[in-house]
Structure 1
Amino acid sequence: MRALLSTLTRSQAAMVKKRVDNYTLTVRKRSKQPTRHVRDVFSTPNTSRRVSECPPCPPPQDTSDSLSFEVPYSEGVAAHRRGRQGDCKDCQRIRRDDHDLPTFQLPRPKLGLTRIQDLSCEDMKKIGYISLIELTTFYDGLGIELKRNRAARSKARENGIFGVPLTTLLENDQKKFPGSKVPLVFRKLLSKLEQTGLQTEGILRVPGSASRVKHLRQELEQKLYEDRFDWELVRHNDAAGLLKMFIRELPYPLLTLQHAPAFAAAQNISSPRQQIQALHLLIMLLPEPNRDTLKALLEFLRKVVAYEEKNRMGLWNVSMIVAPNLFTYRGKNAKQEEMQGAAGAAHLVRLLITHQDLLWTVPCFLISHVRKLNEAGASKKPPSSEKTKKKLLLMRRKTTEREKTERSELTDLRQGVIRVHAPQHAKISMAIQLDNETKAKDVMARFDYENGTSRRPRQYLFEVGGNIGERSLDPETHLLDVYHVNPHCEWVLKPTTT
């Protein structure tokens, strides 16, 4: 906990302390219980939410098309409160007209853009913990109260396709297709729709035959994994029905049961920019299977909207149709809540479709937190087991030998020299002097020139170790800036896993 607190902003640390104090007080009242992980203290939230009026508008330099990744969003809320009084276009609710949606450009930080798939799994787990703290602080600053809610325990099917958890489906798929990130049936349905339905009027809106959809569902359950299912029998409107049915019948919602209330609360934020920021943090929080499946759906929906002139399905129409399947309500008042939240849910789907590239990019301030957290963790004493000690000594010996070799090779070069390792190239190592203009794409081009340009797959530059697990570098990344932020990393050229 201490290591985590040392990486947080003052607002985030205050929120953690507040939550821990409240939790401790509750535990004392109920009797002693085991200490919980910080992510459990912040486990989301349900229901009761109070939304304040939109605070004063931001300082003048905050333009409508800018969205900074450098500063935590919760700090921006505080700045917003201290801003100018008066009318604020950013705080006005947007109308149904698609053209009223705000546009936000992806920033171009010198450390490079980082997509979710560019980070190691361990670093993404830490991103999730920090995002949960940041989201709680951000919502608190906006006056949105999120109460903790225990996840419902229910037995789900372990076999079949419909009504089966995403994790179970992927486990089954990976036995036949290693590395699968999106359920096979979901990919097949999207592929069928892309092949036959993108230019068809009313795609997603015109329902298929209920009896035919029911029959196809039974056939899929029995034959999909045996490669006996005939996809030629599936019409595009039947595929659309099966797709919506698949999402709707997931035993745990695609937006997760745990975080669904936080998604719903985002509907009540007046500022489009802050809605985007809330969605951004929520995407960082989603489990990997949910996030990957949601991304596949949004990429397809963007293609549907791109063919609007042919299929008569604009952004608002698509969003209104898809929203009820994503924002599911359960309980006695489910229908009433769904009707009341229909427009707000559709608006969030519009934002998800329109800004998906931005939302699947990890903000710099979260990566900075991870670097600090890794540094804080590295400063701890190593475990005392003999096996671990021997392993660490061997690693240190190898590192020292490698550093001596590199120092001897680079004695005539100035500071700011990196050695890039390229195990799959003919020239497996190269010393490169960095300057203010050196970018990742320059190193990639240099190795391509040395080894010929016909090599496939394309190789990307990674920073490995130091204060990061592993990060694939955007070709536009300024390497000298990365060198200063993470001087002890290794530089490796290799293909990405995506």
Structure 2
Amino acid sequence: MSDSEKNFSGSADESSKPPLLVKKKKKSEKPGYKMFDAEDSDDAPVMFDDSVRPSSTKLKKHGRPSFKFSGKIKLKEKEKEDKKDIGDKRDEKGLQKDYYSKTQIPSIVAAEIPVFGVALSLAVERTPSHDGIMLPVIVRECIDYIEEHGLLYEGIYRISGVKSKVQMLKDAYNRQQPAYLFEHDPSIVASLLKQFLRELPEPLLTNDLNSHFEEASVLKTSKERLERLNQCISSLPPCNRELLSWMIVHMNHVIAKV
């Protein structure tokens, strides 16, 4: 057999052998994405850290790689730190709340200077009128408001105002806070003024002179009555005399509009 024939037969022998099966590499899926099994997932793709490789021991044990969620771990650690910070802030707020409840609030309560239920001279001293007139500011503001808005109000001093609103205004004056009388009906303001006069610890005519006023009122002649009443009025304390004169003039205006 010639060399050419040998070469030909050799190539034939090699060609008669079955070809080697070469597995084609499948195109890899996008790195970092994988679907969990139905029992381990919510049917949604989850991103994994590409730098973390599946452990060989866990692969043999479970039949599938175990992935480490480095991003989620960092996120959980951050959430724990945030919760800790929030807890610290809550503790600080709690401490501040206790501090204010023990120190600040009692001082605010102690600073309240009521004008209801105290002597008229003390009410004038605590809340003097804005223009120097010897009246408590509550009396001045109530009379001014009624003179402007309440003289034509039917039964201005006869109809009682809403108790809750009267109490709200009373608290505002006792705390020396602004009382917005224009937001209320004239009957409420009139009830507030009546309550102030009613809660005075001493009558406007004073305990000492009250009997003298009664005696002067029953005198027979008008001349004697006027002289005795003038004597009694001049004997009143200055703040009582001022308030009495304001109330007499104010009531004359109310009667004139009836």
Partner of residue 235, structure 1 = 185
Partner of residue 200, structure 1 = 153
Distance 1:178 1:191, change over 3 A: closer
Alignment of 1:172-191 (within 5 A): 172-174=126-128, 177=130, 179-191=132-144
Distance 1:178 1:212, change over 3 A: closer
Partner of residue 17, structure 2 = none
Higher fraction of strand: 1
Give per-residue Cα distances to partners, 1:189-223, cap 9 Å, x unaligned. Answer: 1011112110112121122123332232223322x
1: distance between equivalents of 2:172 and 2:244? Answer: 25
Q: In the alignment, is the contact (CA less than 8 A) between 1:183 and 1:293 conserved in 2? A: no
* Bigger-Rg structure (1/2): 2
Give per-residue Cα distances to partners, 1:237-293, cap 9 Å, x unaligned. Answer: 111111111111111211111101111222332223322221111111111110011
Shift of 1:234: 2.5
Distance 1:210 1:173, change over 3 A: closer
What percentage of residue pairs aligned between the two structures are identical? 30
2: distance between equivalents of 1:288 and 1:302? Answer: 21
Q: In the alignment, is the contact (CA less than 8 A) between 2:115 and 2:123 conserved in 1? A: yes
2: distance between equivalents of 1:205 and 1:265? Answer: 28
Partner of residue 284, structure 1 = 234
Shift of 1:178: 7.2
Partner of residue 252, structure 1 = 202
2:162 counterpart of 1:209: yes
**What is the CA RMSD across the aligned residues, in angstroms?**
2.1
Q: In the alignment, is the contact (CA less than 8 A) between 1:173 and 1:180 conserved in 2? A: no
Q: Which runs of 5+ in 1 are unaligned?
A: 1-157, 309-498
Secondary structure of the equivalent of 1:258? Answer: helix
2: distance between equivalents of 1:242 and 1:177? Answer: 19
Q: In the alignment, is the contact (CA less than 8 A) between 2:113 and 2:174 conserved in 1? A: no
Partner of residue 115, structure 2 = 161
Pairing partner for 1:265 from 187, 190, 215: 215
- One-letter amino acid of the structure 2 residue matched with residue 280 of structure 1: N
Shift of 1:170: 1.8
Shift of 1:188: 0.5
Distance 1:195 1:274, change over 3 A: same
Q: In the alignment, is the contact (CA less than 8 A) between 1:170 and 1:180 conserved in 2? A: no
1: distance between equivalents of 2:165 and 2:144? Answer: 19
Partner of residue 37, structure 1 = none
Partner of residue 293, structure 1 = 243
Alignment of 1:306-317 (within 5 A): 306-308=256-258
- One-letter amino acid of the structure 2 residue matched with residue 204 of structure 1: Y
2: distance between equivalents of 1:241 and 1:196? Answer: 15
Shift of 1:303: 1.1
Q: Which runs of 5+ in 2 are unaligned?
A: 1-111
2: distance between equivalents of 1:288 and 1:221? Answer: 23
- One-letter amino acid of the structure 2 residue matched with residue 215 of structure 1: M
2: distance between equivalents of 1:275 and 1:284? Answer: 14
Secondary structure of the equivalent of 2:206? Answer: coil
Secondary structure of the equivalent of 1:259? Answer: helix
Aligned residues: 147
Q: In the alignment, is the contact (CA less than 8 A) between 2:124 and 2:136 conserved in 1? A: yes
2: distance between equivalents of 1:268 and 1:301? Answer: 22
Q: In the alignment, is the contact (CA less than 8 A) between 2:219 and 2:225 conserved in 1? A: yes
2: distance between equivalents of 1:170 and 1:216? Answer: 18
Higher RCO (C-alpha 8 Å, min separation 6):
1
